[in-house]
Chain A
Amino acid sequence: MNIKIKIGLALLFFVELFYFGLIFLSDLNFQLLNPQGSIARQQRDLGMLVIGILLVVAIPLIGAMYWFAYKYRAGNKKAIYKPDTRHSKFTELVWWLIPAVFIFILAIITWNKTHALDPYKPLESSVPPVRIQAIALNWKWLFLYPDYNIATVNFIQFPQDTPVNFEITADAPMNSFWIPALSGQIYAMSGMSTKLHLIADNTGDYRGQAGEINGRGFSGMKFIARASSREEFENWVGEVRRSLKTLDENEYSTLSKPSENNSVTHYSSYEQNLYNKIMMKYVVPDGEKKMEEM
């Protein structure tokens, strides 16, 4: 290779390295690697375990590949050259067995962990859970607190060390509900109610967002999930209850129209049965009307 090009490549490489270094020094917020809740932590640990097991096979295999590439290079006349080597059936069987054993181990882990970390499974805790119903609208998140009869847009608060039980649906295209620091995501779909359970170990504001592309306002469809002390949470509920806005039928039909980058809104109360009504709208033809008749 031309020496100039070599120098150029090396320079480029070091510029990159330098830049990467700068980024890492300016502490990156690895939300998936620094989880703030037990669900997200278990998800991370599982991921690390899987990668670890895979590396046990991959490193020797890839290493052998590059070692052989070096050792048996055409320039190395000392290396043995046997163009017609045939491998016995037994050797080939070993090639199949090695990865098979590892995948077998991984399969057992996967089966167990998939059941253990099923997002539908309620979390065990001595504290009673907080229930939140999340509704994906175009393009904002509406949250209902059925136990407190309050509603919010693009903001939720809940106490730390308390299980939070989400029920999730949509009155808009399919979406995905995701708070990376606390737990993985689950889809929000109209006419369906999905469930997600999570718990926050530490107080803080966590970024929540829409995961699945759903149109123009997709990027702006984010919310804040605030984990606070029990006391602050109760105060916050009181504050929301004092809000002048209520989410009645009219207000909901305005809210559910497409809008982008909505700011946080509090509603001191909402129409009873709103969540079911939104669901029923899609479950049966004219579902909304039938719900009213009931």
Chain B
Amino acid sequence: MEFLFGRLTLGALPHEWFTIGGTVFMTLAMIGVVAFLTRMKLWKWLWHDWLTSIDPKKIGIMYFIVAALMLVRGGLDAGMIWLQQVMGASSGGYLSAQHFQEIFTAHGVIMVFFVTMGFLFGFMNYIIPLQIGARDLASPFLNTLGFWLYVAGAILINMFFVFGGEFAAAGWLSIAPLSGLEYSPGVGMDYWIWSLQISGIGTTLGGINFIMTILKMRAPGMTLMRMPIFTWASLCSMVMVVIVFPLLTATVALLNLDRLLGMHFFTTTAGGNAMMYTNLIWMWGHPEVYILMIPALGVYSEVVATFSGKRLAGYTSTVIALNAIAIISLFVWLHHFFTMGSGANVNAVFGISTMIIAIPTAVQLFNWVFTMRKGRIRFDTPMLWFLGFVFTFSVGGMTGVLLAVPPADFQLHNSLFLVAHFHTMVIGGALFGIFAGFSYWFPKFTGIKLNERLGKYAFWFWIIGFWVSFGPLYILGLMGAPRRLERYDSVTGWQPLFVVSLIGFGIICIGTAFLVAQIIVSIKNRKKYADLTGDPWDGRTLEWSTSSPPPFYNFAVIPEVKNRDAFWEMKKEGKRIKSKYEDFEMPKGTATGIYIAIFAFFFGFAMIWHIFWLAIACALGIVAFIIFRTFYENTEYEMKAAEVEKVERMR
């Protein structure tokens, strides 16, 4: 039995209310979806048009769907954390310490890896080929493989609901030695390890692919310094992915060796060094938050220029600033543990290197301010998100510089002030950027403009909700409240602030409901909100030059670029792209990515439960499929000019 099932015994299966609830809910949802698809006879359509598609636009949409689902999961976790902290005064509450710690671990991992990263990859998939005037990515196969590995990781992290055991409870970065075998013997940490490994490899592949695409696939005439800022930002971000994600993979692999084979990289005994884990994981972890932030900065630059109807002020400065942020952020990781006692020299150097990032960031703000000056500003939803972001981000930036001063950090580290700070950055920076980008590009995705009124409600509820919920956390931090407490003495006087914070979460939820309603209402009334021009915002970059949604080949004729803001200049000259069609090649759809991801999923699953025969079988399966794929020769098909013409006429 042990050979067959490893650690997976009947006793491990779900038996607590939340895991059973999760299992029941997921099973019902699954049955519902399967029944719906069968009834509507949609299986074939789903498989051919979506799952095996290598069209980056479709993969982008699928990224959005998965990321949105994970956002619901992460949001539920957030609500549970808040509720427990409200109830936690003088040892009350409904969660055990273990369960509470599992929840905040899951919340962090899911929000960073599967929500924010998912949305960003979604945008990059959809928008980058359009912005650089390409028909596809450099390697369509790597792209689907990366996406499906991301999905495999996302499913794996939710699998403990079904197969039980427990989830990791050592914080989102699983700091050693707490994450080692000695202090976390259960399978929870292995769920964390394997979902990160699998999705992390997917991210690395995506990073390589986007770098290749941006460097090699640009339309004729689009030099690097004519690229749209979002593309530049994505390039910076992806270069960082390729630099630091291998570090994550290696670090987590070492942790896994400790746990699986009893090695001593990060243990406290036998010569292991737990501090090394903290170092390595933050060498990846700090750049990671900038990987999330930089593409969002790119989105804002696009939004500001478009809605001010004006050229982005200081294009060169912006490009230099983005690159500077990317590079400097590789050299600041130690500010996450000034309190480890590295000594004043080391701390001061890393504190100052952190502050230096504030310079290019401030330059970005200057660029936006001067873009708006003498512009003609329209306050559509994307612009509102931008204006909300500016305030939030500035507060986050200032608290960030404060945290970079080591003596101040000694007091604020591990406090709720820190929690408030990074939520200000990730929500106010990255997530608002995602919302801005979503409402900006939604007409491009669907050919439907979003209902503006609901979008504005969503914005106001979000921004007010955000400050009502995270303002109190800043205050709590100044009261010396540490993070991650599920119970505290009522004499501390923290409870009322947690209550305010929970109210804020409620307001955020209403905002989210408006976002969902906005999408539903807009799609329902798609005739009314239809955008037939392909250019609803008077856009500046190439993605607006094609129809909405774009044909699967993006551009019937590859545009020739002569300036920055290529489409804006074309409109000014009054010349539309000439319509002399030529033959070109398009990649064929493939299911290989899905098969490899399925094997990877079961490999991860088997490793978690120590079912080694299955792990070996799956590893062989993965290798076999990769070799098999390399022998594929006709991965592309020819698109004839006549066919293109036919498609174009029908539009």
Interface residues of A, Cβ cutoff 8 Å to B: 1-2, 5, 9, 12-13, 16, 19-20, 22-23, 26, 28-33, 40, 42-44, 46-47, 50-51, 54-55, 57-58, 61-62, 64-66, 68-69, 72-74, 79-87, 91-92, 95-96, 98-100, 103, 106-107, 109-111, 113-120, 173-174, 176, 178, 180-181, 183-187, 189-192, 194-195, 207, 209-220, 281-282, 285
3 closest Cβ contacts across the A-B interface?
Answer: A184-B410, A180-B480, A99-B362
B413:A211 contact, CB within 8 angstroms:
yes
Say yes or no: A74 contacts B479, CB within 8 Å: no
Ordered by A's residue number, 9 sampled pairs between the chains whose C-beta atoms are within 8 Å are: A33-B478, A61-B362, A92-B314, A107-B352, A117-B407, A120-B341, A120-B343, A180-B415, A218-B485
Say yes or no: B370 contacts A87, CB within 8 Å: yes
Q: How far is the CA of A8 from the CA of B110 in the complex (A)?
A: 33
Question: Given A213-B178, A216-B98, are A83 and B309 neighbors across the interface (CB < 8 Å)?
Answer: yes
- B339 and A217: CB pair below 8 A? no
Which chain B residues numbered 544 to 591 have a C-beta less than 8 Å away from chain A? none
Cα-based distance from A130 to B450 in the complex (angstroms): 67
Instruction: Report if B171 contacts A (CB, 8 A).
Output: yes
Q: A72-B375, A85-B374, A215-B183 are in contact. Are A114 and B351 (CB under 8 A)?
A: yes
In whole angstroms, what is the CA distance A219 to B250 when docked? 32
Is B482's CB within 8 Å of the partner chain A? yes
A95 touches B317 (CB 8 A): yes
- Pick the contact of B359: A65, A103, A181, A213 (CB < 8 A): A103
Closest approach, in angstroms, between the C-beta of A235 and any C-beta of chain B? 26
Q: Are B487 and A113 in contact (CB under 8 A)?
A: no
- Interface residue B80 (Cβ < 8 Å from any Cβ of A): no
**Cβ–Cβ contact A73 & B340, under 8 A:** no
B539 within 8 A of A: no
A64 with B178: CB separation less than 8 A: no
Min CB gap A285→B, angstroms: 5
In Å, the complex CA distance between A120 and B358 comes to 29
A95 touches B410 (CB 8 A): no
What is the distance, in angstroms, from A224's C-beta to the closest C-beta of chain B? 11
The answer to whether A207 and B480 have CB atoms under 8 Å apart is yes
In the complex, are the beta carbons of A218 and B484 less than 8 A apart? yes
Within 8 A of A (CB), among B395-410: 397-398, 401-402, 404-410
Asked if B408 and A65 make an inter-chain contact with CB atoms under 8 angstroms apart, the answer reads: no
In the bound complex, residues from chain A placing their C-beta under 8 Å from that of B26 are: none
**Interface pair A178/B500, CB less than 8 Å apart:** no
Q: How far is the CA of A212 from the CA of B316 in the complex (A)?
A: 43
Q: How far is the CB of B517 from chain A (nearest CB, A)?
A: 13
Residues of B within 8 Å of A195, CB to CB, are 341
Bound-state CA distance A46–B487 (Å) is 31
Known: A33-B478, A47-B405, A184-B413. 12 other contacts (CB 8 A): A26-B493, A32-B480, A74-B376, A99-B362, A99-B363, A109-B405, A110-B348, A110-B405, A113-B407, A174-B176, A189-B274, A194-B341
Residues of B contacting A183 in the complex (Cβ-Cβ under 8 angstroms): 410-411
Mark B68-111 against chain A: 1 for CB-CB distance below 8 A, else 0. Answer: 00000000000000000000100000000110010000000000
Report the Cα distance A22→B269, complex, angstroms. 51
Which chain B positions have C-beta within 8 A of A111? 348, 352
**Nearest Cβ in chain A — how far from B532, in angstroms?**
23
Q: Does B257 contact A (CB under 8 A)?
A: no
Binds A, one of B45-53, B386-394, B623-631: B386-394
CA distance in complex: A69, B309 (Å): 13
Which chain A residues lie closer than 8 Å to B468 at the CB level? 16
**A83→B352 CA distance, assembly (Å):** 38
In the assembled complex, which residues on chain A have CB atoms less than 8 Å from the CB atom of B367?
Answer: 95
Given contacts A26-B493, A174-B177, A186-B410, contact A57 B402 (CB under 8 A): no
Question: Does chain A have a CB within 8 A of B640?
Answer: no
Q: Once bound together, how far apart are the Cα atoms of A114 and B345, in whole Å? A: 8
Q: Are B457 and A211 in contact (CB under 8 A)?
A: no
- A181 touching B480, Cβ below 8 Å: yes
CB distance from B179 to the nearest CB of A (A): 9
Q: Determine the distance from Cα of A58 to Cα of B358 in the docked complex, in whole angstroms.
A: 11
CB of A282 within 8 A of CB of B358, answer no
In the complex, chain A residues whose CB is within 8 Å of the CB of B275: 189, 192
Contacting residues, chain B, for A29 (C-beta < 8 A): 479, 492-493
Q: How far is the CA of A69 from the CA of B359 in the complex (A)?
A: 23
Is the Cβ of B405 less than 8 Å from the Cβ of A13? no
Instruction: Given A110-B351, A211-B413, A215-B183, answer yes or no on A12-B507 (Cβ-Cβ < 8 Å).
Output: yes
Cα distance, A181 to B38, chains bound together (Å): 64
| B366 on the A face (CB < 8 A) | yes
CA of A270 to CA of B33, assembled, Å: 66
CB distance from B505 to the nearest CB of A (A): 13
Question: Looking across the interface, which residue of chain A has its beta carbon closest to that of B361?
Answer: A99
Q: Is B460 an interface residue (CB 8 A)?
A: yes
Contact of B369 among A61, A86, A190 (CB under 8 A): A61
Residue B208 CB within 8 A of the other chain: no
**With contact pairs A65-B390, A95-B363 given, residues A31 and B377 touching in the complex (Cβ less than 8 Å):** no
- A211, B507: Cβ atoms closer than 8 Å: no
The contact string, 1 if C-beta is below 8 Å from chain A, for chain B 247-288, is: 000000000000000000000111100110010000000000
Contact between B464 and A13 (Cβ–Cβ < 8 Å)? yes
Cβ-based interface call for B15 (8 A): no
CB distance from A87 to the nearest CB of B (A): 6
- The answer to whether B485 and A31 have CB atoms under 8 Å apart is no
Choice from A47, A51, A58, A68 contacting B394 with Cβ under 8 Å: A58
Q: Which residues in A have their C-beta under 8 angstroms from that of B170?
A: 213
Assess whether B341 is in contact with A96, with CB atoms less than 8 Å apart. Answer: no
Are B363 and A211 neighbours in the complex by a CB distance under 8 Å? no
A216, B409: Cα distance in complex, Å:
26
Whether B503 sits at the interface, judged by CB under 8 Å, is yes
Instruction: Select one of B176, B410, B464, B477 contacting A43, CB under 8 A.
Output: B410
Q: How far in angstroms is the closest Cβ of chain A from B381?
A: 13
CA distance A29 to B176 in the complex (A): 33
Q: How far is the CA of A99 from the CA of B359 in the complex (A)?
A: 5
What residues of B have a CB within 8 angstroms of the CB of A19 in the complex? 496, 499-500, 503
A95 to B324, CA, bound (A): 15
Q: Mark B315-350, 1 if CB is under 8 A from A, else 0.
A: 011000000000000000000010111011101100
Q: Pick the contact of A185: B176, B278, B366, B414 (CB < 8 A).
A: B414
8 Å CB contact of B178 from A2, A28, A58, A214: A214
